[in-house]
Amino acid sequence: DAGITQSPRHKVTETGTPVTLRCHQTENHRYMYWYRQDPGHGLRLIHYSYGVKDTDKGEVSDGYSVSRSKTEDFLLTLESATSSQTSVYFCASSAGQQETQYFGPGTRLLVL
Amino acid sequence: AQSVTQPDIHITVSEGASLELRCNYSYGATPYLFWYVQSPGQGLQLLLKYFSGDTLVQGIKGFEAEFKRSQSSFNLRKPSVHWSDAAEYFCAVAMNRDDKIIFGKGTRLHILP
């Protein structure tokens, strides 16, 4: 299995505070992704990256920003967390855009 | 815009019975098709994928899927399910090499002993 980790695994925060989630992969994959998973909505793409400093928006990017300064790390930032951003966040990586995506274990975020 | 539909939110089958999970996509081109599985509390894992060639593809854990262009479908099958197959299953589609992969909303599989 590809080595992909997420931190933190659980986080509780208050509305209006900034939150940063980290994704780290050891496979030298070019592509990295951030998804959120909510009941009834499946997995929805927030942002993705196709290389260092190369990122693009996904389906539900409002309220989120990302950064990728190294191949192995992809950060997701909630600039000012809202209750609607309570979700489970998954990071994934792949060698190519249509190649197998390898998923991290997820981060459960609760915004109070 | 491309979309992928999994018509069944929940499916319950008895252990040892056969299984078919449905997936339909909307678009005319030959897509890139995937099935992923998510066990409780874990991330997703690829079961199988189809890009071209033989329309019946074999995956891990005894699963297979068949691409039917005429029906815009990519249904997942298993001849005999095991209790450990209880999980959520996601179909995913990309319409061409340059498109992002879109995931369906998932089908949760329950297994009766």
Interface probe, candidates A6, A55, A101, chain B, greatest B C-beta count within 10 A = A101
Chain A contacts in chain B segment 34-73 (CB below 8 A) = 34, 36, 41-46, 49, 51
B76-102 pLDDT tens trace: 999 999 999 999 999 999 887 778 889
Model confidence pLDDT, tens digit, residues B20-43? 999 999 875 778 999 999 998 889
* A98 vs B32, B42, B103: nearest CB: B32
CB-based contact B47:B37 (threshold 8 Å)? yes
* Tokens 């197998």 belong to residue: A100
All residues of chain B having their beta carbon less than 8 Å from the beta carbon of residue A35 are 103
Q: What percent of chain B has pLDDT over 70?
A: 97
Average pLDDT value over all residues in chain B:
92
Residue B81: per-residue pLDDT:
97
Whether A98 sits inside 8 A of B105 (CB atoms) is no
Distances in Å between the Cα of B104 and the Cα atoms of A16, A60, B4, B5, B113 are: 31, 15, 5, 6, 28
CB B8 within 8 A of CB B73: no
What DSSP letter does each residue of A75-93 carry, written as one string?
Answer: EEEESS--GGG-EEEEEEE
